[in-house]
Structure 1
Amino acid sequence: MRIGLTGGIGSGKSTVAGFLREAGAAIVDTDAISRGLTLSDGAAMPAIAREFGADFVATEGALDRDRMRALVFSDAAAKRRLEAILHPLITAEALRQADAATAPLVVFDVPLLVESGRWRARVARVLVVDCSADTQCQRVLQRPGWTPERVRGAMAAQASREARRAAADAVLVNDGIALVTLRNEVMSLAARWGCETITSP
């Protein structure tokens, strides 16, 4: 079974992905794929350099992430231009990894699953990790380099909680609960959805 995993920034989606991996699922991490495409030898860099110019290429040849992030958070047209380069490459590599997987459950970790509109048809279930906006802010502000303004910009660029929940087949509420409780909920869901290699709590 192929599952789409998504959630807003700071929701704990990566933590849930880790628990699903522990349960025996194969995780296809589209963020990791995107980062690989924008390294100095990444397949997306020639097109990004042509489209956005040398100012968006760091000295070592990789994408200048801070500069690009600032641009796409403030310019919707620039965001679409970047997505037009990255999304086909990300999708192709994600599907290649899924086809090569042998686990009973393949999980596509896709931060913008709802926003893209394309992933729903590729998965049998959508799992959303949810929490309050205040919790999102508190968690993300603990990361190096993040400011309240930057957090608000990132959240504004993502689908609303309501839109994500409306697209979900299952919702994990990761707000005010112990980590072990979240893990147990993930393990139970993984067992129902087809993972056979369940690690005991």
Structure 2
Amino acid sequence: MNIGLTGGIACGKSTVSEMLVRRGAMLVDADRIAREVVEPGMPALAQIVERWGAELLLPDGSLHRKKLGEIVFASPDALQELQRITHPPIRAAMRERMAELQRLHPDKLVVVDVPLLYESELQSLFEAVMVVYIPRELQLDRLMQRDGLTREQAEQRLRAQMDIERKKALADIVIDNQGTLEQTEGQVKTFLKERRLL
């Protein structure tokens, strides 16, 4: 079986994916792939530099992610443009890794962690979509604390994604992550037992 794992920024997707992996799931991490496709020498990085300039490069030739974030989260058009550059290679690598894991481990759960799963309309790739949920106010607080952002910067990042309540409504499986780690873990175990994956 495969599932798409998503949620909003700072909702705790990584925590839930770690819990699933500890119980035997195989993980494809779209965020990791997103970093790989903009490494030095990759076509996507060359396109980003061509579009926004060499000042987005650090001295070692790698991408200055924070500077790029400031540009794209301040402008929906710039964010769309970045997604046009990076999404095709990310999706290709994601599909490839998913297929490989399913071929090598047909009896295992394959979890594909995709932050913008619904925004990118990728739900048809998966047998089910799991959303890690916390209410928006808590999401804002956690994001400001985690990344040292002002409220306005955090709001900008949240506005760049589909609203968490909408994701929750679309989900096949919801993991509510506003309680304790033990409570979240309990929901993960219940999901795995129900699907006979534990």
Cα offset, 1:159, TM superposition: 0.4
8 A contact 2:3–2:110 mirrored in 1: yes
Is 1:82 aligned with 2:82?
yes
Match of 2:157 in 1: 154
Distance 1:153 1:23, change over 3 A: same
Indicate if the aligned counterparts of 2:135 and 2:165 stay in contact, CA closer than 8 A. Answer: no
Alpha-carbon deviation of 1:123? Answer: 0.4
Specify the alignment match of 1:56 in structure 2: 56
- Do the aligned residues in 1 keep the contact of 2:3 with 2:126 (CA within 8 Å)? yes
What secondary structure does 2:146 align onto? Answer: coil
Structure 1 residue 162: Cα displacement? 2.6
Q: 2:183 & 2:12 partners in 1: Cα distance?
A: 13
- C-alpha distance in structure 1 between counterparts of 2:38 and 2:58, whole Å: 11
Counterpart contact for 2:76–2:160, Cα < 8 Å: no
The alignment-based identity, stated in percent, is 35
- Cα distance in 1 between the residues matched to 2:51 and 2:145: 33
Displacement of 1:186 after TM fit?
A: 0.6
Q: 1:144 to 1:75 in 2, by over 3 A?
A: closer
1:15 alignment counterpart: 15
Residue 127 (str. 1) matches residue 130 (str. 2): yes
Residues 107 and 23 of structure 1, relative CA distance in 2, 3 Å threshold: same
* Separation of aligned partners in 1, 2:115 and 2:146: 17
Residue 144 (structure 1) shift: 4.2
Residues 44 and 138 of structure 1: is their aligned pair in 2 closer, same or farther, counting only changes over 3 Å? same
Task: Please show how residues 1-201 of structure 1 align to structure 2 within 5 Å.
Answer: 1-101=1-101, 102=105, 104-117=108-121, 119-175=122-178, 177-195=179-197, 198=198
Q: 1:183 to 1:67 in 2, by over 3 A?
A: same
Alpha-carbon distance between aligned partners in 1 of 2:77 and 2:12, rounded to the nearest angstrom:
29
Q: CA deviation at 1:78?
A: 1.2
CA distance in 1, matches of 2:32, 2:168: 24
Cα 1:17–1:46 shift into 2, 3 Å: same
Q: Partners of 2:37 and 2:189 in 1: how far apart? A: 32
The answer on whether the counterparts of 2:4 and 2:114 sit within 8 Å (CA) in structure 1 is yes
After TM superposition, give the deviation of residue 7 of structure 1 in Å.
0.6
Q: Any idea what SS the aligned residue of 2:96 has?
A: helix
SS in structure 1 of the partner of residue 85 of structure 2: helix
In 1, the alpha carbon distance for the partners of 2:191 and 2:43 equals 36
Deviation at residue 40 of structure 1 after TM alignment: 2.6
Unaligned runs of 5+ residues in structure 2 are none
